[in-house]
Structure 1
Amino acid sequence: MKFVIISLGVVGIGFLLRLIKQPHVIIYIITGVILGPSVTNIAGDSSLIDQLGSLGLVLLLFFIGMEISLPKLIANWKFSLTGTLIQILASVFAIWIIGYFLDWPLARVVTLGFVISLSSTAVVLRILEERNEMETRVGQNALGILLVQDVLIVPMMIILGYMSGGEIHAKDVVLQSVGALLIILFVIWLYKKGEIKLPFDKLLKNDHEIQVFFAFGLCFGFAAITGFFGLSTALGAFVAGMLVASSKTTECFHHSLYPLKVIFLALFFISVGLLIDLEFIWNNIGLISLLVGVVFITNNLITALTARMYKIPWGESFYLGALLSQIGEFSFVLGALAYGSGIIADFAYQVIISVISLTLLLSPFWIKVSSRLSRDKRVITGKKSNELQSNISDNS
């Protein structure tokens, strides 16, 4: 019955919001808010929705892996790595300045810096899909940074565990390092191989039902492997998608799994809406509004200035910064870890949840406004010359 109500809620709210041309991300989050404890509490226990929503994130990365260009992604690795590291260091430094005047301990400063430095893979890729910008340079750059962030979530968790006084097991560190090395070697092998042939290739092209189960097996099989090594399951799904793309059988898998991706990804955003506590936000509206504004402006500027280091035009740099300006879903994990280990108290944890949720909710509006303010829209939509498109590769 719960899922019937959720479905009807998405349809009803979606009909109203699509009349004013709002993206699906907004529809799903607002549906979660209305059905959550702050309004009607119809959804009740959200644990099942959270679990199904996490599957949507895994499927999303699987689809993106099927659609990206591996040569382009590897060609821009310097920008992706540099941009991510600068984002993290600058975020921690910005929080340190605030914490200096508020006398915050170092562990809290590092936690909050890590939290705001991560962008939302689900929101950014969903918006790029809706705008048909996945294959543009700004889309490829955003994707590269998001993937590096997914990898760096592991050392972030290790650092927070160490700062909380928790025990760090050498076995876990070695396992994660081995897993990361295996992924790098596998991606290099795919790159050098160029095109591969999947087993049962002819059967897959002609049997719709077998396609579904084979794709599911690849997607969640790779996710389970990276999970075993202590890495992001979404990262494993992305690698599985690249494997499918290398086999040139992307189209049949895309049609087979697309409806499932839509459903599970919608549940993920609805689960974000369920976390929003309107009463807490109202009681702390000044602090939360200030933090949301600081997050958007700071993250936007840091990414834009980093892109300018690689001589990307201001318009595209600013738009790229807007795409990555919100706080990501993996920040919920860091916040929960810090709360459970005693680095932050209950109030700080509620503030983190509120700020993350609101940046996810407001991100499409921020991106839309930023895209209009960008001074060179031809770069954003990928209509510049090939010479400009290859600018990063030349500078790398």
Structure 2
Amino acid sequence: MHIDAALPVIVAVIFAIILVALALRAVGQPQIVGYLLAGVAIGPHGLGLLTDIDTISRLGSFGLIMLLFFVGMEASPRHLLGRWRIAVGGVLFQLAASIAAVWLIGIFFDWSWSRIILTAFVISLSSTAIVLKLLKDWHELGTQTGQNVLVILLAQDLVLVPMLITIGLMSGESTDLPTLGAQIVGAAVLLGLTSWVVCQERVHLPFAKYLRADHELQVFAALFLCFGLALLSGLLQLSTVLGAFVAGLIVSSARETDWVHRSLEPFRVVFVAVFFVSVGMLIELPFISENLVEVGVLVAAIVGINTAINAAVLRSLGSSVRRSWYAGALLSQIGEFSFVLISVGLYAGVIGQDDYRIMIAVIAVSLLLSPPWITLWRVVLGHPEGKPDYPQKA
């Protein structure tokens, strides 16, 4: 009997995820580390069971969209809007501090201003996927720190757009006015939808009550809600995850939509795992071993600088010392959207191929080491967060 060639690979991938995750769970590490290590093991730079990084990354991007959709369903719009000072002030301070830190480093290596700006942009973005996954798993999304970190991550997603424009200008490209106009319209649409949700006590979705009796239609309706607004956000030249997050806010405020969570939960688990596996596949062990000192020093410096900068931001905006350092640890890694910035920087000629590979390795390793780093700070600070400040939605 014919066996599809992909079937043994799928079985091997699932087995690797289970095996590594169980081993790490025994030593108290979160499952994210298991997904990342599984990606390293089965990827093209490990056992070579999976070599198509692009396809896996595209599947994983669906997981990131669904993760933000679920976070939107569990978030409180009023609590988030009440933290606008943290979102705006935090991101601006973080960017300024990152540019200053990279400038001091760039002096010794004679870096150009374009490379300094690009590197500062890269290290200033934190990982939405890792941070929100950990907060959800630890039931800390509804805490003060969880909400503060969430608004900073969402603000970083918005800042990605002007970052890309800036990199384009540094390469000598002219501003694309239609794209800029679409981004302004997109931001206005998402802001308008969020404001509408905040002003309404309850949102009524069409046909919601009829879907309660049909589980199969519930699955497709929930997927349409999640990816439909993500698609709209992407068409308007904004991050698709922002659209998914706003869709989650709308669903959380609607009547008779408890079926959305039940219908999409299995999809979320699978695709989020695929996302982290795809990140693990980017880690080139031979290249890292050849450049171990440089990669290690850069990762240690960036994680340490990001922890201190973000802790200072939250402390200056009113958080306690323990909560500020915990938030700093949560935001210490380099985010997945930094892969986009690095690729654009390479295409624009801001950095060369060797520097590109170094930065890809630094980003990937920082993501891999982030969960144990956060766990360490969480233990050292004595679990600084107690019960959520408001009940999280189920």
Q: Is the TM value for this pair above 0.5? A: yes
Is 1:42 the equivalent of 2:54? Answer: no
Greater mean alpha carbon deviation, residues 342-351 or residues 196-205: 196-205
Q: Which amino acid aligns with 1:318?
A: W
Q: SS where residue 370 of structure 2 aligns?
A: helix
Q: Does the aligned pair in 2 maintain the 1:205–1:252 contact within 8 Å?
A: yes
1:361 to 343, 368, 374: 368
Q: 1:301 to 1:248 in 2, by over 3 A?
A: farther
Cα distance in structure 2, aligned partners of 1:249 and 1:321: 38
Is 1:87 the equivalent of 2:98? Answer: no
Q: Does the aligned pair in 2 maintain the 1:66–1:250 contact within 8 Å?
A: no
Is 1:323 the equivalent of 2:321? Answer: no
Cα distance per residue 1:11-60 (max 9 Å; x no partner)? 22222222222211101010010011222111022221111000000000
1:62 to 59, 65, 69: 69
Report the counterpart of residue 11 of structure 1 in structure 2.
Answer: 18
Q: 1:250 to 1:125 in 2, by over 3 A?
A: farther
Cα distance per residue 1:320-354 (max 9 Å; x no partner)? 11001001000000001101111100111111111
Is 1:302 the equivalent of 2:309? Answer: yes
Greater mean alpha carbon deviation, residues 181-190 or residues 147-156: 181-190
Greater mean alpha carbon deviation, residues 242-251 or residues 256-265: 242-251
Cα distance in structure 2, aligned partners of 1:139 and 1:279: 37
Q: Does the aligned pair in 1 maintain the 2:72–2:246 contact within 8 Å?
A: yes
Cα distance in structure 2, aligned partners of 1:70 and 1:159: 30
Greater mean alpha carbon deviation, residues 224-233 or residues 160-169: 160-169
- Deviation of the 1:383 alpha carbon: 7.4
Q: SS where residue 212 of structure 2 aligns?
A: helix
Report the counterpart of residue 275 of structure 1 in structure 2.
Answer: 282
1:336 to 332, 340, 343: 343
Q: SS where residue 206 of structure 1 aligns?
A: coil
Q: SS where residue 380 of structure 1 aligns?
A: coil
Is 1:106 the equivalent of 2:117? Answer: no
Q: 1:383 to 1:185 in 2, by over 3 A?
A: closer
Cα distance per residue 1:101-145 (max 9 Å; x no partner)? 211111111111000000001000110011110111111111110
Q: 1:383 to 1:58 in 2, by over 3 A?
A: closer
Q: Does the aligned pair in 1 maintain the 2:142–2:388 contact within 8 Å?
A: no
How many residues align? The count is 383
Is 1:164 the equivalent of 2:133? Answer: no
- Deviation of the 1:374 alpha carbon: 2.0
Cα distance in structure 2, aligned partners of 1:184 and 1:68: 16
Cα distance in structure 1, aligned partners of 2:284 and 2:135: 29
- Deviation of the 1:205 alpha carbon: 2.2
Report the counterpart of residue 381 of structure 1 in structure 2.
Answer: 386
Report the counterpart of residue 236 of structure 2 in structure 1.
Answer: 229
Cα distance in structure 2, aligned partners of 1:199 and 1:116: 43
2:292 to 268, 285, 289: 285
Cα distance in structure 2, aligned partners of 1:139 and 1:373: 18
Q: 1:127 to 1:250 in 2, by over 3 A?
A: farther
Q: Which amino acid aligns with 1:34?
A: A
1:75 to 82, 86, 90: 82
Q: Which amino acid aligns with 1:278?
A: L
Report the counterpart of residue 123 of structure 2 in structure 1.
Answer: 116
Q: SS where residue 267 of structure 1 aligns?
A: helix
Cα distance in structure 1, aligned partners of 2:357 and 2:88: 31
Cα distance per residue 1:336-381 (max 9 Å; x no partner)? 1101111100111111111111111111111111112226x4x522
| Map 1:173-212 → 2, pairs under 5 A | 173-212=180-219
2:248 to 241, 245, 269: 241
Report the counterpart of residue 347 of structure 1 in structure 2.
Answer: 354
Report the counterpart of residue 267 of structure 2 in structure 1.
Answer: 260
Report the counterpart of residue 389 of structure 1 in structure 2.
Answer: none
Q: SS where residue 180 of structure 2 aligns?
A: helix
Instruction: Give unmatched runs, 5+ long, in structure 1.
Output: 387-396
Q: Does the aligned pair in 2 maintain the 1:314–1:374 contact within 8 Å?
A: no
Q: SS where residue 276 of structure 1 aligns?
A: coil
Q: Does the aligned pair in 2 maintain the 1:137–1:382 contact within 8 Å?
A: no
Identity of aligned residues (%): 42
Cα distance in structure 2, aligned partners of 1:25 and 1:372: 18
TM-score normalised by L of structure 2: 0.94
TM-score normalised by L of structure 1: 0.94
